[in-house]
Structure 1
Amino acid sequence: MPAGKDPTRQGASTMTREERDDVVRARQGVRHAGVTFGPPQRRRSVAASWHDFAARYGWRAYAVPVLLVVTIAALLSSNEVRKHVITRSAPHQKAGPPVASASFTLKNDAAAGRINDSVLKAAALPAGPVYTVKGAGTFHVLKGTSPVVGKGHLYRYSIEVENGIKDVDLTQYANLVVTTLSDPRSWSGHGVALKRVDSGPIDFRVSLTTSMTVRNLCGYDIKVETSCYAPAGGVTPVNRVVFNLARWVRGSAAYVGDLATYRIYMINHEDGHAMGHQHAHQCLPGGLAPVMMQQTFGLRSASTGKICEANPWPYPAASAGAPGAEQPDTAANNEFGLGD
C-alpha cells in the first residue's frame, strides 16, 4: 500500500466495517507497544509524556514513584540492620581461643631421670631471712570466716598454723589466703565455690608448716624445700594443704624479687590439688606457665623445652588455654627433672 494512504478511509465498497475496526485495533495495539505508525512523529517532551501518563492513570501515576522511593529506603534500611547485626554478633562467631593439648611427646633433659647439680641449684631455697625450722608438729585454727565466693561445688576450708612458728604476721597470712582464693582469676571464678570457716565440717585445712614437719607430711625424696597437699588417710587424718614456711619466707628462684606473687602461686597451686587438680607440664598458648606446673622447681615446658613465664593464677587475664592440660606425673615430665 502506498505511503500515507489510510485504509480506514477507503470506500465502503472496498472495506467492510468489521475490517475497518480490525485495522483501528491493530494500530492501537502497536501504539501501546511503543511503536509509532505512519510518518515519524516529533519527540514529545518529558513533561508532556508525564502529562499524558497522569491523565491516563490518575492518582495511581503519582503513587508509583512514592512506592519506588519507599521500597528503596526499606531495602537500604534492611541492609543497614543486617550489617549492624553482623557487627554486634561477630565477637560471638569467632573461633574459641587455642587450648593446651592434653597429649604431647614429653621431653626429658635429665638423662635416665638423674638429677644433676645445676637442677639442684635452680630448685634450692633462695637466701633471705631466718625462719622457724622445726615446730611442735601440731596445728591451731586461726579464727575467721568469709562469705561464699564463686558458684559450683562448695569447698569449706580452714586456715591453720603450726604451733611454734615465730616472727610471721599471721593476720597477713590468713588475709592473703582468703583474698587469693576469692579472686576471679583463682579457682572460685570458674566452676567451684569456696568458703573460709573456723568450725564445723571442713573439706581441707590450709596450714603454714615448718620444714621438718613438711618432711613428715610431704616426704623428702628430693632434697629441697617443698610444699604439698597431703590427703586424709595417710600421714594425716584430715585433708591438709601444707605450705612450707621456708618457701613462704624465702620464695623461689622462679619468682626471685617478688615474694608476694610467689605466695599467691603457692596458695593457688596447693589448693588446686585439694580441689582435685593434677600437675600441668607445658606452657599455656602465649607462653605463661600454668599454675599447676611445679614452678618452684622450674619453668621448662615438657613438650617443647622452652621456658614458660612465671604465673601465679589458674586463669590469668586474657590468657588462652587456662588452666592448662593436666597429666599424671612421670619421670619424663617432672619439672624438677627438667630443670631450667
Structure 2
Amino acid sequence: MSSWQDGRGPTMIDPREGRALRQRDPLDDVRAAHDGARRAQVGYGPRSSRRPPRRTFASFLRTFVRRWGWRAYAIPVLAVVTVVALMTSSATSKPAKPLAEAMGASNSATSPPPAPAQMPLKGDATNAGDNNVALKGYALPSGPAYTTKGNGTFRVLKGTSPVVGRGKLYRYSIDVENGVKGIDLAQYQALIVSVLSDKRSWSGHGVSLQRVDSGPIDFHITLTSSLTVRTYCGYSIPVETSCYAPAGAVDGLTTNRVIFNDARWVRGSAAYVGDVALYRIYMINHEDGHALGHNHAHQCLPGGLAPAMMQQSFGLRSAVTKQICQANPWPYPPGVSGAPGAEQPDTSKNDEYKLGD
C-alpha cells in the first residue's frame, strides 16, 4: 500500500516490521550533487575512517628530489656557503696598519733636556777608547750595493713643509751628497718629513719643525757616501756609522749637519733583524735628536723598549744595567712612561760599542 507524504513521492509499508519505506525520489541525485558541490566550495570533503599512511623523512626526501631535480642539491649547498660567509664577515680582525701607525701615537709634550753649554754635541763615532775591533754584532748586514765614495759636495733637494709641533722652531733642509746613486730620493725625502711630523717623534715635545730649501737653516739632513762619512764622523770605531756634526767640528763646516751613512740607509742594522724601513725611522729620529739638543741614552725605557737615543746600531744591551732592550725607533712610543729616556754625555763606562751582542 502506498501513500504520498510531504510531497516527496510514494511511501511503501515494510510488511515484516510494519514501518514505512520511502521510495527513491529522482530528485535525490540532484540534491546529492548540489550538496557535494556546496561542501567542496567551503573546503569540506568526505571523511574516511582509514588513516593516511605515515610519511618518513626518506619518502619526503625522494618526493623533494623528484619535484626539484638538481635544485634539490643546490639549495643545501647554497645554505652552507651562506652560513660560512656570514661567520667570516662577522669575525673581528684588525686590518694591517701602515708603518707610520704601527706603534700608535703619543700626545706627550715635554721639553727636551738642553745640551751641555760647555761642550759641543758629540757624534756617534767618538769615545771608542783603545777598542779598535769591530764585533760581529756591529757588522753591516748583507744586502744591496751602496755608494762608497761621492765627490764630497752636497746639494739641497727642493721642497718645503708646514710647521709641525709646538715649541722652539727648527728649520731643516734635506740634502744629498753629489755622486750618491741607487737610492730613491723621492722616498728618502718623503720619509724624513713624515717621521719628523709624527707625534711619536720630536715635534710637539718642546720643539716645532719645518722643512725649507732656502733662507735660514738650523741644520742640514744629508745622505752621505760611506767614505765621506768618515770626514765628519771619524772612524775610531771601525764600523759604518752615522752622526751629527755641529758647525765648526770639521774645517769648512759652517752649518750644523746631520750625516746619514748611505751604507746604513741601504742595509740597516742587525738590531732590526733585516727591517730596513724601521731602521731608517730610527736613523732619522736618533741623528736629528742630536741636532735638537739630545745626548745618548743608555738604559731601557720602562717596559723594556730601547730609547731612540740609545746607539742601537751597535746593539741593544744597556751599558749601564746590562739589560737587553727591545728595538724601538721612536722617541715617544705610545703608552710608555719615562720617554725619551735618561740621557748623559758619553763616557767609557756607558759605551754600548764595547759590549758586543
TM-score band, normalised by the shorter chain?
A: 0.5 to 0.7
Q: Following TM superposition, where does structure 1 have runs of at least 4 consecutive aligned residues deviating by more than 3 angstroms? A: 112-117
CA separation in 2, counterparts of 1:326 and 1:234?
22
Q: Which residue of 2 aligns with 1:86?
A: none
Q: Which secondary structure state, in structure 2, belongs to the residue aligned with residue 307 of structure 1?
A: coil
CA separation in 2, counterparts of 1:207 and 1:164?
13
Question: Which of 247, 253, 259 is the aligned partner of 1:242?
Answer: 259
CA separation in 2, counterparts of 1:278 and 1:170?
29
Deviation at 1:257, TM superposition (A): 1.9
Q: Which secondary structure state, in structure 2, belongs to the residue aligned with residue 268 of structure 1?
A: helix
Q: Deviations over 1:241-288 (max 9, x none)?
A: 000000000101101221000000000000000001000000001000
Deviation at 1:189, TM superposition (A): 2.6
Q: Which residue of 2 aligns with 1:70?
A: none
Q: Say if 2:288 is the partner of 1:265.
A: no
CA separation in 2, counterparts of 1:243 and 1:220?
15
Q: Say if 2:167 is the partner of 1:152.
A: yes
Deviation at 1:224, TM superposition (A): 0.4
Q: Which residue of 1 aligns with 2:302?
A: 285
Q: Which residue of 1 aligns with 2:154?
A: 139
Question: Which of 237, 247, 266 is the aligned partner of 1:232?
Answer: 247
Q: Which residue of 2 aligns with 1:173?
A: 188
Distance 1:214 1:113, change over 3 A: closer
Q: Say if 2:202 is the partner of 1:187.
A: yes
Q: Say if 2:293 is the partner of 1:276.
A: yes
Question: Which of 300, 307, 315 is the aligned partner of 1:298?
Answer: 315
In the superposition, the TM-score normalised over structure 1's length comes to 0.65
In the superposition, the TM-score normalised over structure 2's length comes to 0.62
Q: Which secondary structure state, in structure 1, belongs to the residue aligned with residue 203 of structure 2?
A: helix
Deviation at 1:184, TM superposition (A): 0.1
CA separation in 1, counterparts of 2:217 and 2:269?
30
Whether the 8 Å contact between 1:141 and 1:161 is mirrored in structure 2 is yes
Q: Which residue of 1 aligns with 2:141?
A: 126
Whether the 8 Å contact between 1:214 and 1:242 is mirrored in structure 2 is yes
1:62-73, aligned counterparts within 5 Å?
none
Q: Which secondary structure state, in structure 2, belongs to the residue aligned with residue 189 of structure 1?
A: coil
Whether the 8 Å contact between 2:171 and 2:218 is mirrored in structure 1 is yes
Q: Which residue of 2 aligns with 1:329?
A: 346
Whether the 8 Å contact between 2:159 and 2:211 is mirrored in structure 1 is yes
Q: Which residue of 2 aligns with 1:219?
A: 234
Identity %: 74
Q: Which residue of 1 aligns with 2:110?
A: none
Whether the 8 Å contact between 2:192 and 2:284 is mirrored in structure 1 is yes
The residue identity in structure 2 corresponding to 1:180 is V
Whether the 8 Å contact between 2:300 and 2:318 is mirrored in structure 1 is yes
The residue identity in structure 1 corresponding to 2:219 is F
Deviation at 1:306, TM superposition (A): 1.2
CA separation in 2, counterparts of 1:161 and 1:114?
33
Deviation at 1:116, TM superposition (A): 8.2
The residue identity in structure 1 corresponding to 2:168 is H
Whether the 8 Å contact between 1:299 and 1:339 is mirrored in structure 2 is no
Whether the 8 Å contact between 1:114 and 1:337 is mirrored in structure 2 is no
- Calculate the aligned-residue CA RMSD, in Å: 1.4
Q: State how many pairs are aligned.
A: 228
The one of the two structures with greater contact order (alpha-carbon pairs below 8 A, sep at least 6) is 1
Question: Which of 213, 216, 227 is the aligned partner of 1:198?
Answer: 213
Range with bigger deviation, 135-144 or 232-241? 232-241
CA separation in 1, counterparts of 2:130 and 2:236?
13
Distance 1:178 1:304, change over 3 A: same
The residue identity in structure 2 corresponding to 1:171 is A
Structure 2 gap ranges (5+): 1-127
Deviation at 1:120, TM superposition (A): 1.6
CA separation in 2, counterparts of 1:207 and 1:316?
25
Q: Which residue of 1 aligns with 2:330?
A: 313
Deviation at 1:302, TM superposition (A): 2.3
CA separation in 2, counterparts of 1:256 and 1:328?
28
Q: Which secondary structure state, in structure 1, belongs to the residue aligned with residue 135 of structure 2?
A: helix
Whether the 8 Å contact between 2:220 and 2:257 is mirrored in structure 1 is yes
Whether the 8 Å contact between 2:246 and 2:255 is mirrored in structure 1 is yes
Whether the 8 Å contact between 2:136 and 2:356 is mirrored in structure 1 is no
